[in-house]
């Protein structure tokens, strides 16, 4: 009896705070159980909105950049020759904004810039679902070297011509760019590679060799380039055999891009493939494809992983010994 009394004396007694917290916990659990379905549905809708809204916001940013360039042209009363240095101030503004976004959201890094020649050259790159990495590269190289790398792109992005130096896919225009000692960026996979490649980072070039013939004709080097985790940052929604057939028939990119996760982006520029008069265009195209595949395998873990790509934001690139 004495021991029982001692136990009750020293045992903790419920206080008003404990009673309030217990009631609050009970009410919270009951609310969660009653509204679990709504919570799940709204969470999925919010996530889907974010994943589709970020790519859309990026596209709108570039078109607004084109509008900004048009206003600059009207105010300054400039002509349409975008290759002139008079456009450098507005290019620099857009490049700084773009580079800041890349470093802030994706921790963007550029490695191997020493492999880019001072003269003309072809930048051959892997095309992600949303080639934001390539635009980061354009901004970075303009900031560091004040060089405008011209690009061949789909007709739907020609509104950005003045911002990134986009030209039409015509041999005469490509020759003029290289004759002026400029850089020219080409993705042989193009829209097909953007839509139907995946986390295995396979190249979808088919039998394209026009870029190689251009390099042979102009006797310029080819520089392979790829970006780590580009497929983990943005991906295509709705890939299927039917979608592939529809694209091959219509050549219209109907599949939406989703993503926008803040994964780590590192762009790697490989060693240039120098001009060799004994190498044909077919051989050069095959050699370029092998070089780009090797560059991807060296710097990208395949298959890609979103979790690993997010964790790489906290890892620094290992220095070469």
Residues labelled as active-site residues: 127
User: 309 Cβ partners below 8 Å, 6+ apart?
Assistant: 228, 229, 232, 233, 261, 263, 264
| Separation of first and last alpha carbons in the chain | 78
Q: Which residue has the tokens 């390099």?
A: 215
The DSSP secondary structure of 242-269, one letter per residue, reads: HHHHHHHHH----SPEEE------EEEE
| Calpha distance 300→303 (Å, rounded) | 8
Per DSSP, what are the bridge partners of residue 110? 267
SS (H, E, C) 30-91: HHHHHCHHHHHHHHHHHHHHHHHHHHHHHHHHHHHHHHHHHHHHHHHCCCCCCCCHHHHHHH
Tokens, residue 220: 């310029």
| Calpha distance 309→264 (Å, rounded) | 6
Answer whether 126's CB lies under 8 Å from 187's CB: yes
Q: Within 13 Å and on the Cβ side, how many CA atoms surround 50?
A: 10
């Amino acid at each position: 009896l004495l021991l029982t009394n001692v136990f009750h004396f020293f045992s903790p007694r419920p206080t008003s705070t404990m009673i309030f917290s217990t009631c609050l916990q009970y009410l919270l659990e009951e609310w969660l159980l009653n509204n679990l379905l709504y919570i799940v549905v709204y969470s999925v809708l919010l996530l889907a909105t974010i994943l589709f809204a970020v790519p859309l916001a990026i596209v709108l940013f570039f078109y607004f950049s084109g509008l900004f360039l048009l206003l600059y042209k009207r105010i300054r009363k400039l002509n349409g020759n975008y290759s002139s240095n008079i456009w450098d101030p507005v290019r620099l503004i857009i490049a700084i904004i773009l580079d800041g976004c890349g470093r802030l959201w994706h921790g963007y890094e550029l490695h191997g810039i020493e492999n880019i020649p001072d003269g003309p050259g072809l930048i051959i790159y892997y095309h992600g679902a949303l080639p934001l990495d390539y635009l980061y590269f354009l901004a970075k190289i303009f900031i560091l070297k004040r060089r405008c790398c011209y690009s061949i792109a789909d007709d739907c992005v020609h509104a950005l011509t003045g911002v990134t130096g986009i030209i039409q896919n015509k041999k005469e225009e490509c020759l003029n760019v290289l004759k002026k000692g400029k850089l020219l960026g080409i993705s042989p996979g193009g829209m097909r590679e953007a839509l139907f490649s995946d986390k295995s980072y396979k190249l979808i070039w088919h039998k394209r060799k026009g870029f190689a013939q251009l390099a042979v004709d102009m006797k310029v080097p080819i520089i392979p380039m790829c970006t780590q985790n580009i497929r983990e940052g943005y991906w295509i929604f709705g890939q299927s055999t039917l979608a592939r057939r529809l694209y091959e028939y219509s050549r219209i990119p109907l599949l939406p891009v989703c993503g926008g996760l803040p994964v780590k982006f590192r762009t790697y520029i490989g060693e240039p493939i120098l001009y060799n008069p004994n190498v044909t265009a077919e051989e050069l195209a095959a050699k370029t494809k092998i070089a780009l595949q090797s560059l991807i395998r060296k710097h990208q873990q395949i298959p890609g992983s979103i979790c690993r790509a997010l964790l790489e934001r906290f890892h620094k690139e290992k220095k070469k010994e």
